[in-house]
Structure 1
Amino acid sequence: MEVSVHPIVLLSIVDHYNRIASQTNKRVVGALLGEKVGNKLEVTNCYAIPYDEDPEDNQIWFLDDLFHREMLQLFHRVSSREHFIGWYSTGSSLLGHDMRIHDLFTHDASDPLYLLVDIQSGSPFLPLSAYVCRNNDGEKVFKHVNYNIGYLEAEAIGVEHLLRDILQFKHLPMAAQVEKKVSALAAFKRCMHEVLEYMNLVVEGKLPLNQQINMLIQEIFCILPNSEDKQLIAAVNERMNDFYLSLFISSLVRSVTACHRLIDNLIEYHEDGKVIEHEKPKAVVLAEGEGEVPHVGTTAESA
């Protein structure tokens, strides 16, 4: 089975989680809508379903099936091409009662799809898993299926504008940018190790040669730039020099700013000290007949 998940579905699932369970870290459940053509499944839309479970015993749960059926009828009125094709939930792993929920949705689809989305995952990869139910020696089990991110032209434009707005209003500090680059390079290194292991197994004859995988590997290496090109080396060195120059200038600006603040603080402290030093206490004016006015800084002598 070939599964294609559209970006609007992932955004809706994240929005559902942020509205309902962002503060409580509870699980959210919803329905998947789309179209099935042959062996290809297109997941184009989704909606939330009220769901709750006992935090101490997840075998005790509640799903509003009546709400689900009413929402499904409303979506059929809006778009007759989108049918119920599965359900989704949030979490890091499968739970014991997921099969019971899956059986509940088999009344609306013969072979429903199950999407598990880990919202709080820190992995650089897409935190999404797709499953279908299969029989294994008379026992129902979830089988992992591959998926890809598909989109229409209108969706691509919308996602591009959304990401552009996020990048404009979210300025990451230097440490966060470096951390993201390190994570991306670590993920790339793991992928390269997997490719190397596969090629070694093929050379040793433990795995058959797959021409499609071989073509994909060849395309990847064709995309890589030639590291021995003199023009490329000069361009990289020039870019690094510009980067180091900007760091040097920013360090100078910070140093000059710190010096200015120090000088301003010293001047302000010196002026405050002068004011305190030149202040004189006011003389006490006594009424007539009560004695002499004492000198400033001395104690009045008794009569």
Structure 2
Amino acid sequence: MALNLTVKVHPVVLFQIVDAYERRNADSHRVIGTLLGTAEKGVVEVTNCFCVPHKEYDDQVEAELNYAMDLYDLNHRVNTQENIVGWWATGKEVTNHSSVIHEYYARECNNPIHLTLDTTLANTPRMGIRAYVCVQLGVPNGKQGCMFTPAKVQVTSYEPEIVGLQLCSKTQRPVSGSLKPAGTVEPMMDLAQIAEASSKLSSMLEQVLAYVDDVLAGKQLPDNQVGRALLDMVHSVPKMSSDQFDEMFNSNVKDLLMVVALSQLIKTQLQLNEKLTLLTSL
């Protein structure tokens, strides 16, 4: 089962785990919590999570399970599609207490996954993400046990999350000549985002054209996988003339400008209404 299982993790889950680790008590060496998402046809997609307060001792584990169930019920009211799919823990290893915690989540969902995130960044600049499933071991009518088997992990994103990640990536280095504190950025306007995306798209097309020219000239060995990807990309482009494309693009830009103008008018009207309400109440 583990070999065919794929765990897809969204960036918001990683952010929440890191935030819970930073807010932990001084005497806590690791933090655990519940994973929420969906599971279907060998793919577990983790879209949300929350922290579960707990304490670990040498011979036992204490966790606030009632708090965990109450928090899950509140999350389930907001998004009924998110169910319990497993649990997470900070650190890079599966500890002796992991099997005890896993038994609890095995009662809450079928085949729960265990996700570990190395937040210590010890001797590496990247956080190690690993996922495990518990496989039962033993003989019939004999002593039973379990083993955590690794599963494939992928970091996936929705389109709004990609915009947020791109904005976060700009905080890695300060903008030269700016009076703002280092590492802080502001969201761009819609048209500025379109201009930046168009510039990136033009740069990527130039790289693709340079690769194709080098392959045709014999300067670089062809890659079948890249060729199939380029063929799919070409077939996905609708057949239209340059005039039809310009007309479609200009129409979409006009719609975008109209939406931006209307949103600004609504914002101004709300601000005026708020000030008039404040004046009439005095």
> For 2:54, which of 51, 55, 72 is the aligned residue?
51
Shift of 1:144: 0.5
- The percentage of counterpart residues that share the same residue type is 28
> For 1:149, which of 144, 155, 163 is the aligned residue?
155
Larger Rg: 1
Shift of 1:165: 2.6
Spell out the pairing of 1:1-303 with structure 2 (5 A cutoff): 1-21=5-25, 23-24=26-27, 26-54=29-57, 57=58, 59-121=59-121, 122-137=123-138, 138-168=144-174, 169-170=182-183
Shift of 1:2: 1.1
| CA distance in structure 2 between the partners assigned to 1:9 and 1:48 by the alignment | 11
Shift of 1:69: 0.5
| CA distance in structure 2 between the partners assigned to 1:139 and 1:61 by the alignment | 19
Q: Is the 8 A contact 2:170 2:183 kept in 1?
A: no
Matched letter for residue 163 of structure 1: S
Q: Deviations over 1:224-282 (max 9, x none)?
A: xxxxxxxxxxxxxxxxxxxxxxxxxxxxxxxxxxxxxxxxxxxxxxxxxxxxxxxxxxx
| CA distance in structure 1 between the partners assigned to 2:146 and 2:224 by the alignment | 37
Q: Is the 8 A contact 1:114 1:130 kept in 2?
A: yes
| CA distance in structure 1 between the partners assigned to 2:173 and 2:77 by the alignment | 37
Q: Is the 8 A contact 2:32 2:51 kept in 1?
A: yes
Query: When the two structures are aligned, how many residues end up with a matched partner?
Result: 173
The DSSP-based 3-state class of the residue aligned with 1:148 is strand
Cα distance change of structure 1 residues 161 and 215 upon mapping to structure 2, 3 Å threshold: same
Counterpart position of 1:284? none
Q: Is the 8 A contact 1:87 1:114 kept in 2?
A: yes
CA RMSD, 1 decimal: 2.2
The DSSP-based 3-state class of the residue aligned with 1:9 is helix
Q: Is the 8 A contact 1:31 1:88 kept in 2?
A: yes
Cα distance change of structure 1 residues 156 and 141 upon mapping to structure 2, 3 Å threshold: same
Cα distance change of structure 1 residues 25 and 51 upon mapping to structure 2, 3 Å threshold: closer
Q: Is the 8 A contact 1:27 1:52 kept in 2?
A: no
Shift of 1:92: 2.6
Shift of 1:109: 0.6
Shift of 1:93: 1.2
| CA distance in structure 2 between the partners assigned to 1:28 and 1:160 by the alignment | 28
Matched letter for residue 48 of structure 2: N
Q: Deviations over 1:38-73 (max 9, x none)?
A: 11110010001111123xx2x322111000100110
Matched letter for residue 5 of structure 1: V
Counterpart position of 2:214? none
Q: Is the 8 A contact 2:38 2:81 kept in 1?
A: yes
Greater mean deviation of Cα atoms: 45-54 or 158-167: 158-167
Q: Is the 8 A contact 1:116 1:128 kept in 2?
A: yes
| CA distance in structure 2 between the partners assigned to 1:86 and 1:29 by the alignment | 11
Matched letter for residue 50 of structure 1: P
| CA distance in structure 1 between the partners assigned to 2:35 and 2:48 by the alignment | 6
| CA distance in structure 2 between the partners assigned to 1:89 and 1:170 by the alignment | 29
TM-score normalised per structure 2: 0.57
Matched letter for residue 17 of structure 2: I
The DSSP-based 3-state class of the residue aligned with 2:93 is coil
Matched letter for residue 52 of structure 1: K
Shift of 1:25: 5.5
The DSSP-based 3-state class of the residue aligned with 1:106 is helix
- Structure 2: runs of 5+ lacking an equivalent: 139-143, 175-181, 185-222, 228-282
Shift of 1:32: 0.4
Shift of 1:19: 0.7
| CA distance in structure 2 between the partners assigned to 1:62 and 1:6 by the alignment | 28
